[in-house]
């Protein structure tokens, strides 16, 4: 096997450049999702929306994003990644720009639903790209690296969002973030190629990736003359009939419940329940996601380190996830303190746990059948994003009187259910092999 330090004639392995691009794509993805959590604090008053109506607005993204995960994942298996991803990024960015002109509850729900439509295939596409470009013993670290962008957005962008909103109002916030994202779509199109199509990747690096389990020969190519993969309903059934897949599906729902709280209601919790000002809230919200950022990077490092030392894939992949699910339940501790500082401590510990468990995509890379990896990834993200549909509405009702105690207990209990799902259902971590299709 070639030495990983000599896999590129330019000195930088091309897979690391692809990883940097994926990090940027996830940053743009979450910037467009999370801007509403800050903008909503003044949008709510401007448009006359109560807590229940804001819960509907927060949830609207996941109505389409969640339900379209399965067809979106299937499209990832059919279309060429580079063009397809650039197109959906362009359209979700345009949707964000248009949100700056919204003037009613109906319009907001429609635009947030549209954002979900165009972002739906994004994470199955990320997973397929990293599975093509990275060998097995680097994959958890790669997934942790690009996934960490979502936590950095939560940590670093709120103060910037607050500044922008105070400078150009919430409408300008949407217009600017959408315009920046449009530029990102063109950059992605210019940078990304699948391994077999990359003009300057070395043969040594291709050999290294393939020898380590990277799927560079899964049929991916940008050649317009190449035969396209066809969807098969038999593959659709395979995505639902394996117990180990249901283990990670349920676990992803539980993982998403905690994360969606921070994407949507956390600023309200600090402002309305804890009495923080808009400016101070912007800085307090930075801290917990930094815990998650550390958690996800540590998780990827530990998991791949264990793999390289010969520990079984099941143990190596499950340890960080199981620990993270238990730690995530510590969010309940915020109910038992009046100190803002201690609230942030509990939230940071909980989100650190969420970060530890956020390499769950590595299970899809490791166990999903090769020819329907996008489809299985879509089902995985669909079930995970049912939390995005349900959680904002559940919290809206549980906290409609301004008391979030029941809401935090709900999130903590769901985290424990996620632990049980991985512990009892996933079993041995190995790829599901499918019979050859009949011609």
The pTM assigned to this predicted structure is: 0.72
pLDDT tens for the 439 residues of the chain, in order = 344 444 444 578 888 988 999 999 999 999 998 888 788 778 887 887 777 788 788 878 878 887 887 788 778 877 788 899 999 999 999 999 999 998 888 899 999 999 999 998 898 888 888 888 888 778 878 888 888 888 888 788 888 888 898 889 889 999 999 999 999 999 989 888 888 878 777 888 888 888 877 777 654 444 444 444 555 666 677 778 888 889 999 999 998 888 888 777 887 788 777 777 666 766 777 888 888 888 888 888 888 888 888 888 778 888 888 999 999 999 999 999 888 889 889 999 998 998 888 877 778 877 877 777 777 877 887 888 788 778 878 888 888 777 888 889 999 999 999 999 988 888 777 777 766 655 4
Q: What is the pLDDT, as a whole number, of residue 24?
A: 93
- d(C-alpha 258, C-alpha 262), whole Å: 7
* Through-space distance between the first and last CA atoms of the chain, rounded to whole angstroms: 36
Mind listing the domains of the chain with CATH numbers? Answer: 12-211+233-425 (1.20.1250.20)
- Yes or no: say if 359 and 325 are a contact pair by the CB < 8 Å rule: no
Residue 118 burial class via C-beta count within 10 angstroms: exposed 0-12, middle 13-18, buried 19 and up: buried
Residue 256 burial class via C-beta count within 10 angstroms: exposed 0-12, middle 13-18, buried 19 and up: buried
DSSP secondary structure string, 90-152? HHHHHHHHHHTT--SHHHHHHHHHHHHHHHTTHHHHHHHHHHHHS-HHHHHHHHHHHHHHHHH
Q: What is the pLDDT, as a whole number, of residue 94?
A: 95
Query: In 3-state terms, the chain is what percent helix, strand and coil (to 5)?
Result: 80, 0, 20
Q: What is the pLDDT, as a whole number, of residue 5?
A: 44
The angle formed by the CA atoms of residues 388, 36 and 166, to the nearest 5 degrees, is 160
Q: Which residues contact 404 (CB under 8 A, 6 or more apart)?
A: 265, 269, 273, 335, 395, 398
Q: Which residues contact 405 (CB under 8 A, 6 or more apart)?
A: 335
């Amino acid at each position: 096997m070639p030495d990983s330090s000599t896999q590129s004639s330019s000195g930088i392995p091309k897979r690391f450049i692809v990883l940097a691009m994926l990090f940027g794509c996830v940053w743009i993805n979450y910037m467009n999702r999370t801007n509403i959590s800050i903008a909503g604090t003044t949008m709510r008053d401007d448009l006359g929306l109560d807590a229940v109506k804001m819960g509907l607005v927060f949830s609207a993204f996941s109505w389409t994003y969640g339900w379209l995960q399965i067809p979106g994942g299937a499209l990832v298996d059919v279309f060429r990644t580079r063009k397809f991803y650039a197109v959906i990024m362009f359209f979700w960015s345009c949707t964000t720009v248009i949100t700056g002109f919204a003037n009613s509850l109906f319009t907001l729900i429609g635009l947030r639903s549209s954002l979900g439509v165009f972002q739906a295939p994004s994470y199955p596409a990320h997973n397929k790209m990293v599975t093509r470009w990275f060998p097995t013993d680097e994959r958890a670290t790669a997934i942790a690296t690009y996934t960490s962008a979502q936590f950095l957005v939560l940590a670093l962008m709120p103060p910037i969002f607050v500044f922008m909103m105070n400078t150009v109002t919430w409408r300008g916030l949407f217009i600017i973030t959408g315009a920046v994202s449009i530029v990102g779509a063109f950059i992605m199109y210019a940078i990304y190629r699948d391994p077999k199509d990359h003009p300057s990747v070395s043969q040594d690096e291709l050999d290294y990736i393939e020898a380590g389990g990277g799927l560079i020969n899964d049929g991916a190519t940008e050649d317009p003359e190449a035969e396209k993969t066809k969807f098969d309903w038999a593959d659709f059934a395979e995505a639902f009939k394996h117990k180990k897949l249901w283990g990670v599906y349920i676990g992803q729902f539980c993982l998403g419940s905690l994360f969606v709280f921070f994407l949507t209601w956390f600023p309200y919790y600090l402002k309305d329940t804890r009495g923080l000002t808009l400016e101070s809230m912007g800085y307090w919200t930075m801290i917990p996601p930094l815990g998650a950022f550390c958690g996800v990077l540590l998780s990827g490092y530990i998991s791949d380190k264990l793999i390289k030392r010969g520990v079984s894939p099941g143990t190596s992949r499950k340890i960080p996830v199981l620990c993270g699910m238990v730690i995530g339940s510590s969010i309940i501790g915020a109910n038992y303190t009046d100190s803002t500082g201690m609230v942030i401590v509990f939230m940071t510990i909980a989100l650190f746990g969420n970060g530890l468990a956020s390499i769950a995509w590595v299970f899809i890379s490791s166990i999903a059948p090769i020819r329907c990896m996008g489809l299985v990834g879509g089902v995985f993200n669909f079930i995970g994003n049912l939390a995005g549909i349900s959680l904002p509405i559940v919290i809206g009702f549980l906290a409609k009187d301004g008391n979030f105690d029941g809401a935090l207990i709900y999130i903590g209990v769901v985290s424990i259910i996620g632990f049980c799902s991985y512990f009892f259902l996933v079993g041995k971590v190995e790829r599901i092999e499918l019979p050859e299709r009949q011609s």
